[in-house]
């Protein structure tokens, strides 16, 4: 019922930056939180950053100080600005939308981020 469209992934050299976006549409009344996860081959999906509907943010220690999550309230869009990228940041990045008041999670299709040495 909620569709998430992600964009912004690609190939970048170490030290460079990328900005990911995730736009939510469909049966949206409000949301509890939107977040970014990533998953590399052979690893579990991990939480990278999250933002609540009130604007509070949190980050995994591995990206804190390098990544910034932000939200466009009117457009139900979340962004992830990634700077000072490292090869270990290489992964498929997924946007997750937690619907309010149901608490149901919806996932984007994923976007590949590859950081070369």
Q: Note the pLDDT tens digit of each residue in 1-11.
A: 899 999 999 99
pLDDT digits (tens, 9 = 90+) for 36-63: 999 999 999 999 999 988 889 999 999 9
pLDDT digits (tens, 9 = 90+) for 63-112: 999 999 999 867 689 999 999 999 999 999 999 999 888 889 999 999 99
What residue has token string 């081959």?
A: 41
What angle is formed at CA 90 by the lines to CA 93 and CA 73, rounded to 5 degrees? 30
> The tokens of 98 are what?
């937690």
- CA distances 95 to 21, 44, 47, Å, are 9, 15, 10
Burial environment of residue 73 by CB neighbours within 10 A (0 to 12, 13 to 18, 19 or more): exposed
Separation of first and last alpha carbons in the chain: 40
From 109, 105, 79, select the one nearest 2 (Cα to Cα). Answer: 105
Kind and range of the H or E run holding 14: none
């Amino acid at each position: 019922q909620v569709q998430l469209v992600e964009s912004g992934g690609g190939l970048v050299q170490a030290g460079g930056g990328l900005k990911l976006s995730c736009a939510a549409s469909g049966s949206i009344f409000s949301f509890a939180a939107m977040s970014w996860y990533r998953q590399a081959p052979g690893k579990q999906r991990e939480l990278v950053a999250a933002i609540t509907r009130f604007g509070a943010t949190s980050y995994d220690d591995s990206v804190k100080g390098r990544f910034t999550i932000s939200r466009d309230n009117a457009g139900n869009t979340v962004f992830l600005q990634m700077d000072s990228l490292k090869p270990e940041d290489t992964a498929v990045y997924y946007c997750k939308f937690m619907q309010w008041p149901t608490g149901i999670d919806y996932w984007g299709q994923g976007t590949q981020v590859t950081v070369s040495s």
